[in-house]
Structure formats: structure tokens, C-alpha cells
């Protein structure tokens, strides 16, 4: 090799365009971009939720109905679900050797995260727009 | 089950490795990640119950307020605290910072301590620790 490699990817990896997980660096990057968002969203969510839970049902309703809270809840839960779908994907890819089981679990993982987001979107929009 | 037939130890080699702080930290990050995956079901259930009405909200609130509910909630708080703080540590390491063995072990230990401190602080501020309510929050938990 005449000159040092500019990237960590091997020439063969570049040609095939696939890593061990059958996809490129996109997973690594999106996992971290969502992590950066969550570093800000999660503390807000925890602190803000405390007050809402203490206020009983009426307090919870008023909290979700607030326009800023509604948007931030969608962002916080949405980013969390996106991030955890990527995380669980790695766990499944690491520990499940059998391809058919792996495929079923990966699909299930996606379905769970999308379903949880649908429920969240329904709940927040119903309260905030009503 | 698995069609894995190789008898050599699989990564992470917990059976042949000596336990050390950064290894425990790495495994804890994964464990708490899975814990948060389970915990968010509770958050989504709470949002759904809030949207549907008191008939759903009150039973769920009662469940969370029970001793088992409080234990699960505290576990979830620790899990989120740890995963968030350790995630910041991972971002530092991704940037190539603090990668020597001494700094690595120090930061791993620091995150472990801070996560528990943060979780307890959140509970104290939330008035969830009996007899402690520094923000004077009103209403039943």
C-alpha cells in the first residue's frame, strides 16, 4: 500500500458496499445523531413530566395540551423510539445467529417502534388539538 | 435455537475475561438500553391513558403508585440516567477523547456514580421520596 488510507473501510468493503450487518455507516451515524438530540430532550422530558404527574389527571391533560409540550413530547418520544429501534437492531444482530429468527425479530422490532409512535401521535394530537 | 456450532467462546468473552470497569460499563449500557426499551411502554401507556380519559388514567396511576410500580419506576429512572450519561461518554470516545486506560476507567466509574446520584436527585425533586418535597409540589403522586 503506497499511501495511508483516508477511511477505515477496507477496499473490499468499499467494493461490496456492505459491512457485517449488510449495510453501511448510516446506522452508526443516525444512532449518534438521535443520541445528541436525546441528550437535550430526555432531561427536559423527565423534569417537565414530574410536574404533570403530580397534578393528577387534570394536570396531565393540561401538560400534554400545552403547544410547546405537545411538540416536545412528540420529538422526545419519536427520537427515543428511533434510537431504540437502532439499538435493539444491533442487539438482535449480535446475539441471534439463526437467520430466520433474526429476520422475524428485526421486523417485530420495527413494528413495535412504529406502533408505539402511532399511539403516541394519536394521544398527543387528540389532547393538544381537541 | 441457534445454528452456531463453534464451541469456542463468543464475544463478549465473559467466561475467560477478567471483569473490569469499562467492560461492565459497556454491558450495562446495553442492559439499560434494553431496559429503556421496556420502560418506554409505560410512558406511551401513560400518554394514551391521558388521551382516552380518567377511566384509563386512574387505574394506571394507581398501578404506578403501588410499591411494585414505584420499584419499576425507580429502576427505569436509574436506567435512563445511566444510559444518557454513558451515552455522552460514548460520544466523547467517538470523538477520540479519553481513550487511555486510566481515563477510560475513571470516566466509566464516574458515570456509574453520577447515574445513581442523578436518579436519586430526580426522585427527590419529584417529591417521590417520602418526606422530601423541596419544590413543594402539590397533589397526590
Q: What is the pLDDT of residues A29-79, one digit of tens each?
A: 899 999 999 999 999 998 888 778 888 899 999 999 999 999 999 999 999
Number of domains comprising chain B: 1
User: Tell me, what's the pLDDT at A6?
Assistant: 66
What ranges make up the beta strands (E) of chain A? none
B134 inside domain: no
The boundaries of the domain holding residue B84 are 21-125
What does each C-alpha distance from A98 to A23, A33, A77 come to in angstroms? 18, 30, 31
| pLDDT at residue A5, as a whole number | 54
Q: Which domain holds residue A65?
A: 26-129
Note whether A123 contacts B137, CB cutoff 8 Å: no
CA distance, residue A15 to nearest chain B CA (Å): 26
Provide DSSP, B29-50: HHHHHHHHHHHHHHHHHHHHHH
Tell whether B76 is covered by a domain.
yes
Distance from CA of B50 to the nearest CA of A (A): 6
Whether B3 maps to a domain, the answer reads: no
Q: Would you give the DSSP letter of residue A23?
A: S
The per-residue DSSP string of A98-120 comes to -HHHHHHHHHHHHHHHHHHHHHH
**What pLDDT is stored for residue A38 in this prediction?**
97
Question: Which CATH number does the domain housing residue A38 bear?
Answer: 1.20.1300.10
Q: Is residue A77 part of a domain?
A: yes
Q: What is the domain-level CATH number for residue B41?
A: 1.20.1300.10
User: Does B6 fall in a domain?
Assistant: no
Residue B28 inside a domain? The answer is: yes
Query: Residue B135: inside a domain, yes or no?
Result: no
Q: Which three cell numbers stand for residue A10?
A: 477496507
Q: What is the pLDDT of residues A87-129, one digit of tens each?
A: 999 999 988 988 999 999 999 999 999 999 999 999 999 999 9
Contacts of B87 in chain A (CB under 8 A): 35, 38-39
> Quick one: A111 exposed, middle or buried, by C-beta within 10 A (0-12, 13-18, 19+)?
exposed
Distance CA A105, CA A92 (A): 7
Query: How many independent structural domains does chain A possess?
Result: 1
High-pLDDT (> 70) share of chain B, %: 89
Residue B137 lies inside a defined structural domain of this protein: no
Interface probe with A: pick from B10, B35, B44, most Cβ of A within 10 Å: B44
Residue A125, pLDDT score? 97
Average pLDDT of chain B is 88
Indicate whether B51 belongs to any domain: yes
Please tell me if residue B37 touches chain A, with a CB cutoff of 8 Å: yes
Amino acid at each position: 500500500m503506497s499511501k495511508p488510507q483516508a477511511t477505515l473501510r477496507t477496499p473490499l468493503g468499499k467494493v461490496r458496499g456492505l459491512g457485517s450487518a449488510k449495510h453501511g455507516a448510516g446506522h452508526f451515524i443516525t444512532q449518534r445523531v438521535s443520541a445528541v438530540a436525546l441528550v437535550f430532550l430526555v432531561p427536559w422530558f423527565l423534569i417537565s413530566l414530574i410536574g404533570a404527574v403530580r397534578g393528577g389527571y387534570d394536570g396531565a391533560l393540561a401538560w400534554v395540551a400545552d403547544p410547546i409540550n405537545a411538540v416536545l413530547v412528540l420529538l422526545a418520544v419519536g427520537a427515543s423510539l428511533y434510537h431504540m429501534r437502532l439499538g435493539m437492531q444491533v442487539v438482535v444482530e449480535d446475539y441471534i445467529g439463526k437467520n430466520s429468527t433474526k429476520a422475524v425479530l428485526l421486523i417485530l422490532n420495527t413494528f413495535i417502534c412504529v406502533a408505539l409512535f402511532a399511539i403516541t401521535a394519536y394521544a398527543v394530537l387528540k389532547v393538544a388539538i381537541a | 435455537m441457534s445454528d452456531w456450532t463453534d464451541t469456542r467462546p463468543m464475544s463478549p468473552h465473559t467466561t475467560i475475561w477478567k471483569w473490569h470497569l469499562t467492560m461492565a460499563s459497556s454491558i450495562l449500557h446495553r442492559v439499560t438500553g434494553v431496559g429503556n426499551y421496556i420502560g418506554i411502554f409505560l410512558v406511551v401507556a401513560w400518554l394514551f391513558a391521558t388521551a382516552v380519559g380518567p377511566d384509563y388514567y386512574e387505574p394506571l396511576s394507581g398501578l404506578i403508585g403501588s410499591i411494585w410500580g414505584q420499584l419499576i419506576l425507580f429502576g427505569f429512572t436509574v436506567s435512563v440516567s445511566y444510559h444518557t450519561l454513558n451515552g455522552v461518554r460514548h460520544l466523547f470516545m467517538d470523538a477520540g477523547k479519553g481513550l487511555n486506560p486510566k481515563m477510560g476507567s475513571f470516566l466509566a466509574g464516574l458515570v456509574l456514580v453520577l447515574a445513581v446520584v442523578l436518579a436519586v436527585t430526580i426522585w427527590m425533586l419529584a417529591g417521590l421520596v417520602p418526606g422530601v418535597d423541596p419544590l413543594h409540589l402539590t397533589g397526590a403522586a
